[in-house]
Structure 1
Amino acid sequence: MLVTALVGAQEQRSDYVVQVPLTLSGEGPWYRLELPMALHFAGRFGDLRDLRVFNAEGEAQAYALTLGSAQHSETRTETAVKWFPLHSQADAAQAVPSIRVRRNTSGTLVEVAPEGASVNAEEVLRGWLLDASAIKAPLYKLILDWSAERDGFQRFSIEASDDLQHWQAWGDGQIARLAFADERIDQREVSLPGQRARYLRLLWLAPQQAPALTAARLLSASSSSAPAPMAWSAALAPSDVKAGEYTWNLPLALPLERVRVELKQSNTLAPVILSGRRDGKVQWQPLARGLLYRLPQNGKEVIQNELELPAQRVQQLRLQVDERGGGLGSAAPQLTVGLRATQVVFLARGTPPYTLAIGNAAAQAANLPLTTLIPGYDDERLAKLGVAQAAAEPQVEAAVESSAVQAASFDWKRLGLWAVLLLGVALLVLMAWSLLRAPAVKP
């Protein structure tokens, strides 16, 4: 009887009160789905332990859960720049050349000439001045090319400036061109410290070996970052309204990171305190303080209606408004809550279509680590996985609403299992009690 009951209690798709069809696109067999907030609300646990993916045969699929993270990207650009020779008198070859420059309105160099040079004085090439004024990103690499007349190694110092008056040392560089028989070696690249500069000055340590440049390029890199993706709920109406105080009840406790408060009227200014708690039996804990407003500024309307939260699990929220600012108007504001987006990654096995199921109070966590689900996993590979889309939002919302009624009904199969187990324990206790009360057999 116990074995039969355990087999009957094996996990089925029908055990989950919300079931949403999935549409697959891209290359499998792994697919990723960004979970909408409506499905978070449909769950029985904030950690999504009651989430499953089933195939057409009703078999559960292997899956992993991963939180969205901030995205950082870097763009590298190679730019050809203008260069100008720097000369000095032969008898002062080690001195820094004095120059006279002419720039246009954008700061680009038009002319660079020796300053105060004597007509009869012999001059030598001391170095080169590079115009990087058109590059706004940090500089990471210098790439030079020079005439074939100068082979061997050439060393030079590198200095940077924004005004051609004050120079900052960026270290030394070395270029090389070597030829032997039919073999040739070129070393044309020099690393830079990754800082911005409008001008670079290259001064050769041995002026008599300074080569004649034929090309100069600078490699710059600009980085950008995008915040971690968020999952947002639909607008929620407050469950309780008092003077200057509004309360919202969520279907379950979630680690919220941000909320948006509806500001219906223009010229609204409201200092607020947002508090939260897991249920109605504990005290309110302050989560955020801030100033919400919807005000005109420079001919435009500026809106500040968000508050950041510490990702603490809360099921109830209370917004207290300082009425000295005029409040939020006669109509109760609606609230939109957001948390870090969760991606469901699953290995498609069996026959489609696939269904995401959630909402089982008796479920246990079954997700795998992402590195186990995808051998050789890395972040770049995750972005190339196929994509799964949940059903349209209205259908999801309807499924979530209907789940409340289904969750209220008894699970007769599970109740029968418990009855059988308790009956078995009772029989064992009765047998043990009977053996203890049996009279001892005399020899």
Structure 2
Amino acid sequence: MKHFPGLNWLRAAAVACVLAAPLAAWPASDSNTPQSYALQLPVQFNSGAPLQRLVLPAQVLVSLQTGGMSDLRIFNGQGQPLSMAMSDSASLRQTENQKIVVQSSPIIGTPDVKDLSASSLRIEDQQGKRVVQIDGGASGGAQSKTVLGALLDTRAITDAVVGMVLDVDLPDAQPITFTLQMSKDLKDWRPLAETVLYRAEATADHLGAGHIALQFAEMKDHYVRVTWTDSAGHTAPVLMRSATLTTARGVSNLPRVSAALARPVLINPYELRFSLPFATPVAALDIKPAGDNVLIPVRVLGRNDPGQPWAVLAASVIYHLQTAGKVQDSAAIELPPTAFRQIKIEADKKTPGFSALPAIALEFEPAQIVALVNGQPPFTLAAGLANAASPYLPMQSLMPGYQAAQENSLPLATIDSSPAAVQATASRDGMPTRTLILWGVLLVAALALGAMAWVLLKQNNKAAAEDQ
């Protein structure tokens, strides 16, 4: 058999390329080694407590590369991983929820009332309906009076209120500011919350913070007054029917975790894109537009790879307004609980769009783990490793006889972390980078095999000619 020296390097190149294709997606690091992780942070445990809980800071959440927070470990001083369990969302946020619909009563007064917040109210029954009059206001016929707001009787609500949704009809294409205040005696009022709602046209749903988040407001023995004004500070033509209150009992007050976003790409005044370098789901986007008196209806879209179509995640309105000397900013836009690596924000083209890059903060639901402390310090929390297997045990394994939210009574360990700033990268259309690399490797392998076949055929033809 003849030996063809030109084939050796072609054969070696083809074999190397074929072997490189599966290796490009193969995890190369050991998940049980702290040095394999992109982030390592010191952990300070309390002495004398075998079970302790840790609330994950933003710096950890924006470093995770695997779904389910699987690429997270705590190592002791001997490099051994600790046994861990993860709290579910119900244990961290609430154990019991209830929605209560409260019918509203109109507040009637003359249009010349300048400051309703300084007015006292009285409740009257007129023809079987409850109405609220401004106490001491100018008397006059029905033609001289109008609806200036609404009153909610929340005196019988005993649980803390964590949210409210207003059932209202809005005028078209006007941002309407809703102001909520509380009082026990209908005379002395204190601020409760404020939000802005906007509806583009009669057939559209309103945008903005339709759900008003409240910080565990105690409304027992109180009334709530709702007033509404347009951008000029005048009472707007709004019809309010009721409010749906969300109450919570046995609630943990762990707040959401926030991280600033740097380097989003403004494609044009109506399109902003960025890619996220982590796998943790984003619960909400807090977008603050640049400039004064800015209001922009937006859509938020997401996908995981450049080759996928964009999916609509949310529609809302972002704003930065100054009304009657007060600055009002839009609330964060809630997103579905699915992790998307690429985000696009589209501005309504009936507006000027973005004159400059807005300030964007990423909000995450709080995450808590429970660890069984053993071994010697120092203890290190490690995070950030693609394709890591889940390390978590069932909570019942660490806490026999476990009851819901029982881990919240454990001592809280501390993690030495820094404020998180996410460096976003540009989001492109087309094929994912990993797919391009794999296709490139396969193409090189195919070319090498073709060249090897061509050389072999040429050598065989030459040998046959020599034998004749």
TM-score, scaled to structure 2: 0.49
Matched, 1:344 2:369: yes
- Measure how far apart 1:63 and its partner are: 0.2
Q: Which of residues 58, 61, 70 in structure 1 aligns to 2:93? A: 70
Structure 1 equivalent of residue 303 of structure 2:
277
- Structure 2's unaligned 5+ residue stretches are 1-28, 98-120, 124-153, 160-219, 223-246, 423-468
- Measure how far apart 1:299 and its partner are: 3.8
Alignment deviations for residues 64-90 of structure 1 (CA, whole Å, 9 cap, x no partner): 11244323699xxxxxxxxxxxxxxxx
- Measure how far apart 1:36 and its partner are: 1.9
Matched, 1:31 2:52: yes
Structure 1 equivalent of residue 190 of structure 2:
none
Q: Which of residues 11, 34, 42 in structure 1 aligns to 2:32? A: 11
Q: How does 1:215-364 map to 2 (within 5 A)?
A: 229-329=255-355, 331-364=356-389
Structure 2 equivalent of residue 22 of structure 1:
43
- Match of 1:296, SS? strand
- Measure how far apart 1:393 and its partner are: 0.7
Give the Cα separation in 2 of the matches to 1:15 and 1:305. Answer: 39
Structure 1 equivalent of residue 417 of structure 2:
392
Alignment deviations for residues 308-349 of structure 1 (CA, whole Å, 9 cap, x no partner): 1111220111001124333232x2123212222111210100
Give the Cα separation in 2 of the matches to 1:229 and 1:67. Answer: 15
Structure 2 equivalent of residue 48 of structure 1:
69
Alignment deviations for residues 342-387 of structure 1 (CA, whole Å, 9 cap, x no partner): 1121010011221111223353112101121222223453222111
Structure 2 equivalent of residue 409 of structure 1:
none
Q: 1:323 to 1:10 in 2, by over 3 A?
A: closer
* Contact 2:289–2:357 (8 Å) recurs in 1: no
Higher CA-based Rg: 1
Q: Which of residues 363, 366, 375 in structure 1 aligns to 2:391? A: 366
Alignment deviations for residues 388-425 of structure 1 (CA, whole Å, 9 cap, x no partner): 2211315x779xxxxxxxxxxxxxxxxxxxxxxxxxxx
Instruction: Single out whichever of 290-299 and 363-372 deviates more from structure 2.
Output: 290-299
Alignment deviations for residues 254-285 of structure 1 (CA, whole Å, 9 cap, x no partner): 32221111223220110111100012110111
Alignment deviations for residues 36-81 of structure 1 (CA, whole Å, 9 cap, x no partner): 222122222132111111111111100011244323699xxxxxxx
Q: 1:358 to 1:316 in 2, by over 3 A?
A: same
Give the Cα separation in 2 of the matches to 1:389 and 1:30. Answer: 14
Matched, 1:382 2:407: yes
- Measure how far apart 1:232 and its partner are: 1.8
Structure 2 equivalent of residue 125 of structure 1:
none
Give the Cα separation in 2 of the matches to 1:323 and 1:352. Answer: 57
Give the Cα separation in 2 of the matches to 1:223 and 1:10. Answer: 40
Q: Give the root-mean-square deviation of aligned CA atoms.
A: 3.7
* Contact 2:52–2:411 (8 Å) recurs in 1: yes
Q: How does 1:134-283 map to 2 (within 5 A)?
A: 136-137=155-156, 229-283=255-309
Structure with bigger strand share is 1
**Could you tell me which amino acid in structure 1 is paired with residue 32 of structure 2?**
E
Alignment deviations for residues 194-245 of structure 1 (CA, whole Å, 9 cap, x no partner): xx999xxxxxxxxxxxxxxxxxxxxxx9968677732222233303532311
* Contact 1:269–1:326 (8 Å) recurs in 2: no
**Could you tell me which amino acid in structure 2 is paired with residue 307 of structure 1?**
I
Q: 1:227 to 1:58 in 2, by over 3 A?
A: closer
Q: 1:226 to 1:352 in 2, by over 3 A?
A: closer
**Could you tell me which amino acid in structure 2 is paired with residue 371 of structure 1?**
Q
Q: What is the number of equivalent residue pairs in this alignment? A: 257
Q: 1:280 to 1:334 in 2, by over 3 A?
A: farther
Structure 2 equivalent of residue 181 of structure 1:
none
- Structure 1's unaligned 5+ residue stretches are 1-7, 75-104, 108-134, 141-195, 199-220, 399-443
Q: 1:57 to 1:11 in 2, by over 3 A?
A: same
* Contact 2:31–2:388 (8 Å) recurs in 1: no
* Contact 2:284–2:333 (8 Å) recurs in 1: yes
Instruction: Single out whichever of 230-239 and 364-373 deviates more from structure 2.
Output: 230-239
Give the Cα separation in 1 of the matches to 2:252 and 2:353. Answer: 34
* Contact 2:66–2:387 (8 Å) recurs in 1: no
Give the Cα separation in 2 of the matches to 1:269 and 1:197. Answer: 37
Instruction: Single out whichever of 56-65 and 235-244 deviates more from structure 2.
Output: 235-244
Give the Cα separation in 2 of the matches to 1:40 and 1:397. Answer: 11
Give the Cα separation in 2 of the matches to 1:10 and 1:295. Answer: 49
Give the Cα separation in 2 of the matches to 1:139 and 1:317. Answer: 41
Q: Percent identity over the alignment?
A: 27
* Contact 2:269–2:352 (8 Å) recurs in 1: no
Q: 1:234 to 1:53 in 2, by over 3 A?
A: same
Give the Cα separation in 2 of the matches to 1:228 and 1:32. Answer: 13
- Match of 2:87, SS? strand
- Match of 1:234, SS? strand
Give the Cα separation in 1 of the matches to 2:253 and 2:302. Answer: 25
